[in-house]
Structure 1
Amino acid sequence: MPEQRARGFTLVEVLVALAVVALSLPALLFALDQQVDGTAYLRDKSLARLVASNKLTEVRLLAGARGQLLRGSESGEERLAGRDWYWWLDSSSTEVPGFNRITVRVSLSPGDDANSLVTLVGYLDDPGGGDEPAP
């Protein structure tokens, strides 16, 4: 009767495989963590863009209803998707008479308009006739 040899992995093979898994697992977890952080950032930017777009639309509607545009600056807080969003709105005249530049900045932190997630710029005609062009 021929001698049968035992089949299976040797201890050295098992230890090498375990070492490969142990070295690759932290790199995989780090990559996954980076992807999750990137997804959260993109979600925040998308929601901030919605807040800015809503604010610009609100300015357009109010300008049509009142017959005049907002002059100067305004700021406030909106609630969207269960979070508080802080926005800053600036209105300035342009070189083209009757048109104004509206800039909306949105952030997650109050008083952090310099590091806003989104800045949206729109140009609106002034229903009231407008100011003189900016120098």
Structure 2
Amino acid sequence: MTARRLLLLNGPNLNLLGTRQPEVYGSTTLAQIEARVSEVAAEHDLSVRAIQSNHEGELVDAIQAAREDCAAIVINPAAYSHTSVAIADALRSVALPVAEVHLSNIHAREQFRHHSYVSAVAEMVVAGAGPLGYEMAVRYLADRLAP
């Protein structure tokens, strides 16, 4: 039987949501996003394991562990989007459906933010929808996992 859990993975500095550059990232906190993701997931009979880390290796470890008990991954790799081949490789190695989320529109920002290594692995990418992007990702994955 397939696991009915999503891994919600948030990268560096996202623990500061709500206070960090609210003009870019909004005023919603990470705890509020995690709670809403859990609510939306529950509507689809899914549970959520939420992890945030500022450390690349911890994110890779969480991705690798997900293959044991998760059905899909929602990830906001934050700054690691643009730099981490390791995270992209870990996502490839677990062979789970991946939805990538960015609160801001990375394509309307600095040039270095326009490329994401994770996007090449993700089935679905949403950028610029704020916290709603997480809900969109969960709904997409719930539909993808439906029997």
TM-score by length of 2: 0.27
Whichever structure has more helix as a proportion of its residues is: 2
Structure of greater relative contact order (alpha carbons < 8 Å, 6+ residues apart): 2
Give the structure with higher Rg (CA): 1
Whichever structure has more strand as a proportion of its residues is: 1
TM-score by length of 1: 0.28
